[in-house]
Chains A and B, each alone.
Chain A
Amino acid sequence: MSGYLSGVIAILGINVIFAYGIFVTAAAGQLNLGGAGFQAIGAYGAAILSLEFGLGIWAAIAAATVIGGLIGFLIAFPILRTRGVYMVLATFAFAQVVVGIVLNSNYLGGSMGLIMSDYIETGAIIWATLGVILFVFYLMSTPMGLAMRAVHDDEPVADLMGVNNRAVQVAAFALGGAITGLSGALYAYYFGFVEVQYFNALLSIFVLLYVLIGGTQTAWGPLVGAGFFTLIPEALRMGEDWRFLIFGVLIVAMMILRPEGIVTRDAVDRIRARLSPRARDA
């Protein structure tokens, strides 16, 4: 594997995990525009646990994931008091607060960032990505996954079915925080440094776009969305100056042609039917 290819695969893996973190909350009907904040928590959590507390690579990554989940859980309570566009703004503000804290803290390296003393290879990221994909597919097949989609569809009716909407939404937020934290920890160990400038508003916007353009109806969405967003700009590299323009046009076209995202439940059903026509008739 060439260095370039290996690098693209590692970034793709980190972005796919990141997208699943945002997808889990979106699947339950919550838009999280604070993705970069949660990813920063995972990255800085892993860095501090490794540099200051001497944790091993996987212990630090696991702990950073748990920290991301805990903060997601705690922040869910104030954020879930808001609705719609105000929720989007609240999550966005949260990410800005995280960045502000890092910038003003010498302990966290301020604007200079932190340099890691350990590294992981692309292989480790591939395994982690596969693990997260399998986990989210499994989650969406459980009653919890069904309840998340029901809450997304119609909160008052989900309530009438006996779903504790608030508990489902808080759980989705905590889980999203953990998965996003994991992507941040992997980022820190793969690139060998964390600097707060990376975790900017544009990153939060991009990861939310991965999820919305991929589609929130099935667990295929974030995989396709993150793949599209990570690989298309690479494929367009030959166009250099034009690539972001072409990319922008592609995004707008996607939003017009497939407003529910690239992968919808219908599309998944149709593909399944084509692959095994008998299985569906049975």
Chain B
Amino acid sequence: MLLEVAGLDLRYGATHAVKGVSLTVGEGEIVTVLGANGAGKSSLLKAIAGAEKPTGGTIQFNGRDITGRGASQRVRDGLVLVPEGRQIFVSLSVEENLLMGAYTRSGAEVARDAEEIFDRFPNLEARRHAPASVLSGGEQQMLAVGRALLARPKLMMLDEPSLGLSPIVVDQLFDLIAELNAQGLSILLVEQNTQMALEVASRGYVLELGALRAEGTAEELAADASLVEAYLGNAEDAA
């Protein structure tokens, strides 16, 4: 397994955000974590990325215990998070945002990889020197994904990437996720858009109030209508 999370626990003061969650992501897999607002999905990803300190449990990545490693070390290990709400650097240019993704790397390859991202996203290429704040929401999401790709990740974690995007852009985004996966990238995807997530993923987990309620293949989860209604509460939005 590329990523193995065992009994992960996270508390913020009195709030018990993640309650003993265990999950795995295999090499080349897309795994999705589903759940309603406040189910602890973002907290789980932040703990895996090292942005939050778990209060219990272990995280193994690429055969190594990384529980005690800092966020910046995990990026060097190949574990990269595309944070919720894009979180691009608004006062940096589009190109500088991409280069920040490659902060842990150096050499001529970085410039070549950046050109590859620009080839993939012509909209970004056209605004390369403009401040990233002028991009549309969809373009900012592409920039956030491109920035993460420049770190040469083994596993990319995406936190609610479809949030606030138009349906057309959401389709493009999921096409991109599938394409990146086909090229060998492993992906852990947190989504409220249940239907889209289950279409692209091979397996999934359902979180409710910080605890794991169900897990299975994407087909099993998609077929279990009661589960979707009970824990996701947005079956109609997703349909």
Q: Contact check, A153 vs B92: say whether CB atoms are below 8 A apart.
A: yes
Q: Contact check, A162 vs B75: say whether CB atoms are below 8 A apart.
A: yes
CA distance A143 to B96 in the complex (A): 10
Tell yes or no: B201 within 8 A of A by CB.
no
CA distance A146 to B114 in the complex (A): 16
Decide: A153 near B103, CB < 8 A? Known: A159-B71, A160-B49, A162-B151: no
CA distance A143 to B104 in the complex (A): 10
* Closest residue of B by beta carbon distance from A156: B51
Tell yes or no: A75 within 8 A of B by CB.
no
Q: Contact check, A162 vs B83: say whether CB atoms are below 8 A apart.
A: no
Q: Contact check, A269 vs B104: say whether CB atoms are below 8 A apart.
A: no
What 1/0 flags go to B81-95 for Cβ under 8 Å of A?
101000111111100
Tell yes or no: A158 within 8 A of B by CB.
yes
Give the number of residues in B that approach A within 8 Å (Cβ atoms).
29
CA distance A265 to B90 in the complex (A): 11
**Nearest chain B CB to A58's CB is how many angstroms away?**
34
**Nearest chain B CB to A258's CB is how many angstroms away?**
15
What 1/0 flags go to A183-221 for Cβ under 8 Å of B?
000000000000000000000000000000000010000
**A280's contact among B70, B83, B129, by CB below 8 Å, is which?**
B129
Q: Contact check, B87 vs A162: say whether CB atoms are below 8 A apart.
A: no
Q: Contact check, A161 vs B75: say whether CB atoms are below 8 A apart.
A: yes
**Nearest chain B CB to A106's CB is how many angstroms away?**
48
Tell yes or no: B202 within 8 A of A by CB.
no
CA distance A162 to B96 in the complex (A): 15
Most buried by A among B70, B72, B83, B106: B72
Tell yes or no: B161 within 8 A of A by CB.
no
Q: Contact check, B83 vs A160: say whether CB atoms are below 8 A apart.
A: yes
Tell yes or no: B99 within 8 A of A by CB.
yes
**A143's contact among B87, B93, B103, by CB below 8 Å, is which?**
B103
What 1/0 flags go to B68-84 for Cβ under 8 Å of A?
00111001100011010
* Closest residue of A by beta carbon distance from B104: A162
CA distance A280 to B76 in the complex (A): 34
What 1/0 flags go to A66-91 for Cβ under 8 Å of B?
00000000000000000000000000
Q: Contact check, B91 vs A160: say whether CB atoms are below 8 A apart.
A: no
**Nearest chain A CB to B155's CB is how many angstroms away?**
14
CA distance A150 to B92 in the complex (A): 7
CA distance A164 to B87 in the complex (A): 18
**Nearest chain B CB to A138's CB is how many angstroms away?**
16
**B89's contact among A154, A159, A162, by CB below 8 Å, is which?**
A154
**Nearest chain B CB to A70's CB is how many angstroms away?**
26
Q: Contact check, B104 vs A149: say whether CB atoms are below 8 A apart.
A: no
Q: Contact check, B129 vs A154: say whether CB atoms are below 8 A apart.
A: no
CA distance A269 to B96 in the complex (A): 14
Tell yes or no: B154 within 8 A of A by CB.
no
Tell yes or no: B203 within 8 A of A by CB.
no
- Residues in A whose Cβ lies below 8 Å from that of B41: none
- Residues in B whose Cβ lies below 8 Å from that of A266: 131
Name B79-129 residues within 8 Å CB distance of A.
80-81, 83, 87-93, 96, 99-101, 103-104, 106, 129
- Residues in B whose Cβ lies below 8 Å from that of A149: 89, 91-92, 96
CA distance A162 to B106 in the complex (A): 13
CA distance A2 to B88 in the complex (A): 52
- Residues in A whose Cβ lies below 8 Å from that of B88: 157
Tell yes or no: B147 within 8 A of A by CB.
yes
CA distance A161 to B91 in the complex (A): 16
Q: Contact check, A146 vs B129: say whether CB atoms are below 8 A apart.
A: no
Q: Contact check, A161 vs B129: say whether CB atoms are below 8 A apart.
A: no
Tell yes or no: A10 within 8 A of B by CB.
no
**Nearest chain B CB to A104's CB is how many angstroms away?**
43
**A146's contact among B49, B87, B100, by CB below 8 Å, is which?**
B100
**B103's contact among A154, A161, A217, A269, by CB below 8 Å, is which?**
A161
Tell yes or no: A147 within 8 A of B by CB.
yes
- Residues in B whose Cβ lies below 8 Å from that of A269: 129-130
- Which 3 pairs, one residue from A and one from B, show the smallest C-beta to C-beta distance? A162-B75, A162-B104, A153-B89
Given contacts A150-B92, A163-B72, 14 further A-B contacts (CB under 8 A): A143-B103, A146-B103, A149-B89, A149-B92, A156-B51, A160-B51, A160-B87, A161-B103, A162-B76, A162-B103, A164-B70, A217-B91, A265-B131, A269-B130
Query: What are 30 A-B pairs with beta-carbon distances under 8 A?
Result: A146-B92, A146-B100, A147-B100, A147-B103, A149-B91, A149-B92, A150-B89, A150-B92, A150-B103, A156-B51, A156-B83, A157-B83, A157-B87, A159-B72, A160-B75, A160-B83, A160-B87, A161-B75, A161-B101, A161-B103, A161-B104, A161-B147, A161-B151, A162-B104, A163-B72, A164-B70, A265-B91, A265-B93, A269-B129, A269-B130
